[in-house]
Each structure stands twice: as C-alpha cells, then as structure tokens.
Amino acid sequence: MTHHDELRPDTLAVHAGMTRNEFQAVVPPIYQTSTFGFTSTGEGAALFAGEQKGYIYSRMGNPTVEGLENAVAALEGGSRALACSSGMAAIHTALAALLKSGDHVVCSEAVYGPTCTLVSGILTQFGIEASLVDTSSLEAVRAALRQNTKVVFVETPCNPTLLISDLEQVSKLAHGRGAHVLVDNTFMSPLLQRPFEFGVDVVLHSLTKFLNGHADVVGGVIVTRDQEMYARMRRALNHYGGVLAPFESFLVHRGIKTLALRMERHCRNAQAIAEFLEARPEVKWVRYPGLKSHPQHELAKRQMKGPGGMISFELAGGLEAGRAMMNSVKLCSLAVSLGGVETLIQHPASMTHASMGAEARQRAHISDGLVRLSVGVEDVADLIADLDQSLKVAARVRPGARVVPEQAVG
Ligand SMILES: *Cc1c(COP(=O)(O)O)cnc(C)c1O
C-alpha cells in the first residue's frame, strides 16, 4: 500500500485496493464464500491467534471486502477501513466501540435523521448522555463539552441545512478535553473533503451515497488512522456483526473507480442549479456552499475541495408551493437518499427528518418548507428545464392553498 502515498486522489480512485489474483484479472474477483479452509489445525490455530495473516470466516474478513476497505482508506488518507452493512451500522458500531454507560456524546443538531434518533433516543437507553448542538458554532461546542464527553460527532456540511463545522477548531476543542472526533463525510466523499487532514480521529461514510454512486447498494464504512483505533473498531464490528457482503463490496468498489468524474459533474451541475434557483422570484432562499450567500462560503473554500452535489432551498410560497413543485417534477425523482447519478428531490420535514420530531427540527432550523435536492450527473440543461416547469406549477400555489392541477389552469 505504501506506493499509494504518492498517487493523487483521482488515480487512487481507479487503482486503490486492487489486489493481485491468480489469473491477473484486472477486476478483482468476488470471493462469495462464508468460510475459508485451513491446511492444518496448526494453521487454523495460528490464524485465530493472529500469528499468521489470512482469512478465517467472512464476518471477520474477506478479500473482496478488504479490497474495498483498502480503497476507501487510501482515498481518505487513513490507515485502515471497515466496511459495514449500512451507513447506520457504521455509525452505530463506531459509537458503541467508544462509548459506555455514563459517557457523554456531543452531536451536530442538524444531522442525518436516524443519526439524531440513534444518539438522542437509543444510545440514551444504555446510559449514554447526548447533547445536540450547532457544531458550526465553536461557542456551542465549547459550552457543550463536559468532564465525561468522550465523543464529538460532526456532520459537515450537515443534512439538510448545509451548515459547515470547522473541523480543525472542533478537533482542537474536543482533543483538549480528551474526546474523540468522529466525522460523517458522506455529503463530500473523500475527494472533496479529507477530515484526517484537520485532526479528526475517525471518518464515516454511508457507502450508499456518493461512494457507490449508482443507487443500487446499501452500505457504510468506518475509516481509522491508527492501529489501536482500528483494532477497537474491528472488535466491535466483529461482535455487533453488521458487516458488508462480498457482492455489495464489489459493486461499491466498482462505483469508486468513477468517483472523481462523478464528483466533478455533481459540483458543476449543482453550482449551476443553485445559481438558477437563487435568481428565481419563486424561491425564498437557497443554501449551497458554492454560493457567496452561504454564511460560511469562505470556510467552505478552505476546508472543502468543492461545494458538492447537495442543495437546500425554500419557495416563497412555503410548504404548499414546495409540495406542488415536488409533485410536478418529471426528470428529477421524488425519493430520499442522495449521491447517485440521478437527481433526487425530497421533503426533509415529512421524510428523512420526520423521526426527529417538530421541536428538534425547529431547533436545527429545518423548516417545514425546506426542499432538498441531490443533483445528479445528467445534462444540467435538462435538469434546469425540469425545475423551471415545476417552479411555474408551484408559483400558482398561494400559501395554505391547495395545489391547482396543471390542466385546470388556462
Ligand atoms: C444516508 C446517510 C446515512 C445513513 O446511511 P445508510 O447507508 O442509509 O444507513 C448517514 N449519514 C448521512 C449523511 C447520510 O446521508
């Protein structure tokens, strides 16, 4: 793996994690097996004792899965990675590996909805205390840290408000109190943001999103930078059991080969669409890190290599106008998830962030009228034409009014 240190990220996306195999196949084989034979009892014992390297059983390690893990670790500039059966499995495994009863976790208040529920509604059942704060405010992070804070969990840009947390400063604050910093890097992918460069301890991804990129796999990954943290995470994953299967690993690894091409197009399309939306009278506000109007545009430029493919906005006509727009798109799909080649539109308050509850949403500034767009890699002119026709439908809606069907309008 060492020669990878000299390769640039776009090259790593194509080559990292490729292992030699018997027939020199250019694409690594799928080792669709649950278990691996031992040549002798001695070898079996040596493998279990960790005295010999090799494979035992696919929950504990599998060459196809390991190829994907090595690819993600190289892209993040970490040392090792652990592929998990979903992004939530990765988040749960990482938190459970680091926290015990009586510990405290600080978490971004605007995060992926189920992360919020896991931290504030499920881990609390095990005696783990949680504070959800605006981690884009260093004051709020400082005020939330306690004697027993063991983890600061940050999502940046956060979902769906796209506020940005300063990873270097948050890491300094947390490390000053002996807490580990975990970053959900799903919205950026390793090509747009490498949290380890800012002192973060563990990086997490939902592989389901940009890394796989084709909306056909659910998966997650934990990336570590030192051996001790890796061993702690591997032990947790091995016993909680949420590992990724070989075939899923193969698909994600294949997706990663085009990550650089895709991220470039996601950023270019999203920038054009954000500017288009911002200029429209039907739109009240647009939040996108690539816009000068983003409150942390300068921090975005410093910390991120590109503004990404995610946009949030609200229509002047509020929730009803937003619903009318989402119901009238033809090329964009009304669906949750993000980071795939196809453009998706959704309504966080009733969909991805419904489980958070109205009060938590309000605190995190997730308004009922907020619409989230995951911009795909289509021709941007086709996307803008679709958004244009759906905005025209939405413009006919008055706040509180029912949606007027298109054919009824003269
Ligand atoms: C989707 C997502 C997750 C959860 O991933 P799954 O693969 O759906 O379990 C976590 N964080 C972010 C930011 C996400 O977008």
Express each pLDDT in 111-151 by its tens digit: 999 999 999 999 999 999 999 999 999 999 999 999 999 99
Our answer to whether residue 59 is catalytic in this structure is yes
Percentage of residues in the chain with pLDDT exceeding 70?
96
Buried b (16+ CB within 10 A) or exposed e, 253-269: bbbbbbbbebbebbbbb
Please give the model's pTM, rounded to 2 decimal places: 0.94
Nearest CA to ligand 1 atom 12: 112
Confidence band, pLDDT 50/70/90 cuts, at residue 398: low
Average pLDDT over residues 159-181: 96
Please tell me whether residue 203 adopts helix, strand or coil conformation.
strand
Confidence band, pLDDT 50/70/90 cuts, at residue 399: low
CB atoms within 10 A of CB 172: 14
Q: Map out the domains of the chain with their CATH numbers.
A: 4-30+61-256 (3.40.640.10), 259-395 (3.90.1150.10)
Q: Are 157 and 296 contacting, i.e. CB atoms less than 8 angstroms apart?
A: no
Task: Locate 200 and state its tokens.
Answer: 């973060």
Strands (E), 111-185: 129-133, 149-155, 180-184
**pLDDT tens-digit readout, 74-94:** 999 999 999 999 999 999 999
Could you give the dihedral angle defined by the CA atoms of residues 287, 217, 29 and 67, in that order, rounded to the nearest 10 degrees?
50
Task: Locate 195 and state its tokens.
Answer: 């949290």
What does DSSP say about strands 370-374 and 310-315: parallel, antiparallel, or unpaired?
antiparallel
- Look at residue 404 and tell me whether its pLDDT is greater than 70: no
Confidence band, pLDDT 50/70/90 cuts, at residue 290: very high
Pocket test for ligand 1, best of 72, 85, 86, 88 (most atoms within 8 A of CB): 88
Nearest CA to ligand 1 atom 5: 87
Our answer to whether residue 172 is catalytic in this structure is no
Pocket test for ligand 1, best of 208, 344, 352 (most atoms within 8 A of CB): 208
* Sheet with strand 344-346: strands edge to edge: 283-287, 310-315, 370-374, 344-346, 333-334
- Look at residue 16 and tell me whether its pLDDT is greater than 70: yes
**pLDDT tens-digit readout, 351-393:** 888 888 888 888 888 888 899 999 999 999 999 999 999 999 9
Q: Which of 1-10, 197-206, 215-224, 305-314 has the lowest mean pLDDT?
A: 1-10
Q: How far is the CA of 112 from the centre of ligand 1 (A)?
A: 6
CB atoms within 10 A of CB 51: 9
- Look at residue 408 and tell me whether its pLDDT is greater than 80: no
Atom of ligand 1 nearest to the CA of 337: 1
Our answer to whether residue 112 is catalytic in this structure is yes
Please tell me the predicted confidence (pLDDT) of residue 365: 86
Average pLDDT over residues 30-58: 96
**pLDDT tens-digit readout, 317-362:** 988 999 999 999 999 999 999 999 999 999 998 888 888 888 888 8
- Look at residue 406 and tell me whether its pLDDT is greater than 50: no
Q: List C-alpha distances in Å: 331 to 55, 213, 309, 314, 327.
A: 46, 18, 17, 20, 11
Average pLDDT over residues 228-236: 98
Our answer to whether residue 301 is catalytic in this structure is no
Q: List C-alpha distances in Å: 325 to 154, 198, 345, 402.
A: 31, 39, 10, 13
Please tell me the predicted confidence (pLDDT) of residue 403: 47
Confidence band, pLDDT 50/70/90 cuts, at residue 405: very low
Mean pLDDT of the chain: 94
| Helix (H) or strand (E) segment spanning residue 108 | strand 104-108
Q: Is 53 exposed, middle or buried (0-12, 13-18, 19+ CB in 10 A)?
A: exposed
The alpha carbon of 212 is separated from its chain's Cα centroid by a whole number of angstroms, namely 11
Q: How far is the CA of 211 from the centre of ligand 1 (A)?
A: 12
Q: Which of 194, 209, 265, 361 is catalytic?
A: 209
Spatial separation of the C-alpha atoms in residues 402 and 58, rounded to whole Å? 54
157 lines ligand 1 (CB under 6 A): no
